[in-house]
């Protein structure tokens, strides 16, 4: 009996955060005997395991021979933004239930995509459930060390510059490692209505009137929802001046929120004055995508403590939390 054709020239296409299409070429010889495809998928760090595969080693997916390209979805719990290796062999099911298989193909590498707007909307809807009631606030603030503000004055002409967002939060977030912005907070203490005196990010605080950053000339986007093995949750929002590069980036990738009516952060007009509210039961991390001049606000030392344990720098999301995870990966 002739050997089954070995797949070659494998192509991966239509990659999402939890699916892909795969196709390949085969010699026509013995092609009509193929009843199934065996597909082996591994995270890239385990790629050496393929070297030890033999014809009789079970594979992770046995699929009926369908016209190519074949969509692979739901067979594995694919993670977003993750590198994988894939190899294929052809198989012919025998009358006794066993398979005759070809040699393994070459190993191909590919990377899954970020969350799409559809996935982010699922996260958004989960965040809305726990956002809680809205509290009034009047300033955005940013805590840093004294050296940071000194550097801004000396080297950047007094303007804080956007920097690339770190990898904290959901692994599939399209803003991690890509969006440039400046982090601000707006949370207030329930009893005073003012920003808390403690901070994980430094003893010096820049405060700026809310209308200087968030107004009818800006757009508001939902960026992420996560926790760090804690009871409280974080929501990342992005404020981008209309038509700015940050706005164009977000428009393609993030769900846009109605600035006047959403569960997290609102800007409304009352008697000709802009009024601001933030959600009480989540911690908001607000990214502003343009430079901000220190002259637009004030810098002063806080009187409270520097609570490093609350820092979210490169924090990993709890993959087991049912509140802030969706079913397509972490």
Residue appearing with tokens 């707006």: 186
Determine the Cα angle at 25 with ends 24 and 26, to 5°. 125
Q: Which residues contact 162 (CB under 8 A, 6 or more apart)?
A: 180, 181, 182, 246, 288, 289, 290, 291
| 124 or 318, greater pLDDT | 124
The SS3 assignment for 91 reads: strand
The SS3 assignment for 191 reads: coil
**Rg from Cα positions in the chain:** 26
Rounded-to-integer distance, Cα 176 and Cα 205, Å: 24
Mean pLDDT of 179-186: 96
Rounded-to-integer distance, Cα 195 and Cα 311, Å: 16
pLDDT classification of 197: cutoffs 50, 70, 90:
confident
32-41 pLDDT, tens per residue?
889 999 998 8
Q: Which residues contact 302 (CB under 8 A, 6 or more apart)?
A: 143, 197, 198, 199, 203, 204, 205
Closest CA to 127 of 219, 234, 259: 234
Is 282 within 8 Å of 141 (Cβ atoms)?
A: no
256-260: long-range contacts, CB 8 A cutoff, minimum separation 24: 256/219, 256/220, 256/221, 256/222, 257/220, 257/221, 257/222, 258/220, 259/214, 259/216, 259/218, 259/219, 259/220
The SS3 assignment for 73 reads: strand
Task: Give me the pLDDT at residue 163, please.
Answer: 95
Residue appearing with tokens 């490093």: 308
Q: Is the pLDDT of residue 46 over 60?
A: no
Task: Give me the pLDDT at residue 259, please.
Answer: 97
Rounded-to-integer distance, Cα 130 and Cα 280, Å: 9
**Average pLDDT taken over every residue of the chain:** 88
Task: Give me the pLDDT at residue 313, please.
Answer: 61
Burial of 276 (0-12, 13-18, 19+ CB in 10 A): buried
Q: Is the pLDDT of residue 109 over 70?
A: yes
Rounded-to-integer distance, Cα 8 and Cα 78, Å: 24
Rounded-to-integer distance, Cα 36 and Cα 34, Å: 6
Is 201 within 8 Å of 310 (Cβ atoms)?
A: no
C-alpha torsion 160→165→169→174, nearest 10:
130
Q: In this prediction, what percent of the chain has a pLDDT beyond 90?
A: 64
Q: Is the pLDDT of residue 136 over 80?
A: yes
Task: Give me the pLDDT at residue 52, please.
Answer: 45
Task: Give me the pLDDT at residue 198, please.
Answer: 76
Task: Give me the pLDDT at residue 204, please.
Answer: 92
pLDDT classification of 76: cutoffs 50, 70, 90:
low
Rounded-to-integer distance, Cα 89 and Cα 284, Å: 49
| 54 or 15, greater pLDDT | 15
């Amino acid at each position: 009996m002739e050997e089954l054709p070995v797949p070659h020239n494998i192509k991966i296409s239509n990659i999402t955060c939890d699916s892909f299409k795969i196709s390949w070429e085969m010699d026509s010889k013995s092609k009509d005997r193929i009843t199934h495809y065996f597909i082996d998928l591994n995270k890239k760090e385990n790629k050496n395991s393929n070297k030890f595969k033999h014809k009789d080693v079970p594979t992770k997916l046995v699929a009926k021979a369908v016209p190519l390209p074949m969509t692979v979805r739901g067979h594995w719990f694919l993670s977003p933004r993750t590198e994988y290796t894939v190899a294929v062999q052809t198989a012919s099911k025998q009358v006794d239930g066993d398979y005759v298989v070809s040699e393994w193909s070459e190993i191909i590498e590919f990377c899954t995509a970020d969350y799409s707007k559809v996935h982010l909307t699922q996260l958004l809807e989960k965040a809305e459930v726990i956002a809680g009631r809205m509290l009034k606030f009047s300033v955005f603030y940013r805590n840093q060390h004294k050296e940071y503000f000194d550097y801004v004055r000396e080297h950047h002409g007094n303007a804080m510059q956007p920097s690339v967002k770190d990898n904290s939060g959901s692994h599939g977030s399209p803003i991690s490692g890509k969006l440039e912005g400046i982090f601000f907070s707006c949370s207030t203490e329930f009893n005073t209505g003012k920003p808390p005196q403690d901070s994980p990010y430094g003893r010096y605080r820049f405060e700026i009137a809310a209308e200087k950053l968030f107004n009818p000339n800006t757009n508001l986007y939902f960026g992420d929802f996560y926790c760090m093995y804690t009871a409280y949750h974080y929501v990342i929002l992005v404020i981008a001046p209309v038509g700015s590069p940050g706005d164009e980036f977000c428009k393609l990738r993030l769900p846009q929120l109605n600035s006047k009516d959403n569960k997290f952060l609102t800007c409304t007009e009352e008697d000709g004055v802009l009024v601001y509210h933030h959600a009480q039961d989540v911690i908001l991390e607000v990214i502003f995508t343009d430079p901000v001049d220190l002259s637009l606000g004030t810098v002063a030392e806080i009187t409270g403590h520097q609570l490093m344990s609350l820092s979210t720098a490169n924090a990993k999301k709890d993959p087991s939390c049912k509140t802030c995870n969706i079913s397509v990966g972490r």
